[in-house]
Amino acid sequence: MVALAVVAVLAILVVIRQPVGTSPVLGTPDASAMSSLGDPSGGAAAGSAGPPTASRTQRPSPSSDSGASSPSPTASSGPVPNGSVPIAALLADLRVAPERRDGYQRSLFEYWIDADGDGCNTRAEVLIAEAASAPTVGEGCAITGGAWVSAYDGLRISASGDLDIDHVVPLAEAWDSGAYAWTASRRRDFANDLGVPYALIAVSASSNRSKGDKDPADWLPPLASDDCPYIGAWIAVKVRWDLSVDERELNALGRLVSGCPSASEIVPIVGPGGAVVPPPPAPSPLPGTTGGSTACDPAYPTVCIAPAPPDLDCGDIPFRRFVVLAPDPHRFDGDNDGVGCES
């Protein structure tokens, strides 16, 4: 019996797109146009649908060759282990670093591949898994029929060639954020990441091309109801692949996370290299803030600061640059950017 890979899971609190259809039995490689961010596959079909609820089931990710500088994420088809971390806490753990675009070429990321050798490449796997109405998969993995809901704009699309497969974190953004230092095999694995349901998504060509390689500081889905799932997926992919964020991106994410009303849903995060990353321990309350109270105010999820009264200023606490959620009872976030005590 082949041993299942160890799954390392965190869970961030954000709305998850739920499955809306079943996948047919996989055949052999997709005959439809291969597309993704920046690779045209035809315009999106006309028509609209309600708020999107499309999702992908967990699938095996490509394995790295022995020359990889660091192991790639792996996933199991078994149950997701327990363990959860608020999305705000996950955001606070992102590395902050300047972007580096020098040397980027899309061809440095090999896509679409048939990682599991079943005859269907990554594009086809996403189309099959995300179909709202299951298509027919024929010889050569030719996909006919079916229907899809584009989560970014709510369009219902009935021709697979009218869909783009979006890298939620674009390849150029990944390069800027650390992939420039990766081996070719690790870049290939990132470009074909089927190990989690949020890294790749089938969307209308028009929404994908309006996004380009922008990060959430400059682009959000046209359908406002997808903002929180999109932000959660963006942060999840960055954590999964240990990609950095720049200051502007971090500030935008902080604002957006604080405005998400979806704090009761969970999305599984698979840690890099299959190494189990347990949730961080609950922080101890800041001594002396409320006469020994053990309560931590939920408005500050990445640190433990006791609720008011008394009212505290940044000078009263040792923490800097932590996530702040509404209503910010201590008023640590003077510029309302979602980050407290920035100086």
Q: What is the pLDDT along the chain (343 residues), one digit of tens a residue?
A: 333 333 333 343 333 343 333 222 222 223 232 222 223 233 333 333 332 222 333 333 333 333 333 334 433 222 223 334 567 767 877 889 999 989 999 999 999 999 999 999 999 999 999 999 999 999 999 999 999 999 999 999 999 999 999 999 999 999 999 999 999 999 999 999 998 888 999 999 999 999 999 999 999 999 998 888 899 889 888 988 889 999 999 989 988 888 775 443 344 554 455 443 444 444 444 443 433 344 788 788 767 888 888 888 888 887 777 778 888 889 898 888 777 888 7
How far is 254 from 140, CA to CA, in rounded Å? 45
Rounded to 5 degrees, what angle do the CA atoms 94, 122, 216 make? 30
Compute the distance between CA of residue 207 and CA of residue 131 in angstroms, rounded to an integer. Answer: 18
Residue 58 near residue 197 (C-beta atoms within 8 A): yes
The reported pLDDT for the residue numbered 12 is 38
Widest CA span of the chain, in angstroms? 71
Residues facing residue 266 across a β-bridge: 13
**Alpha helices, DSSP H only, in 157-310?**
171-176, 184-191, 205-211, 227-240, 247-258
Is 277 within 8 Å of 7 (Cβ atoms)? no
Specify the pLDDT at position 269.
54
Q: Residue 204: its pLDDT value, please? A: 97
Give CA angle at 333 (176, 329), nearest 5°.
140
Structure tokens at 230: 């999109």
Beta carbons within 10 angstroms of residue 196's beta carbon: 22
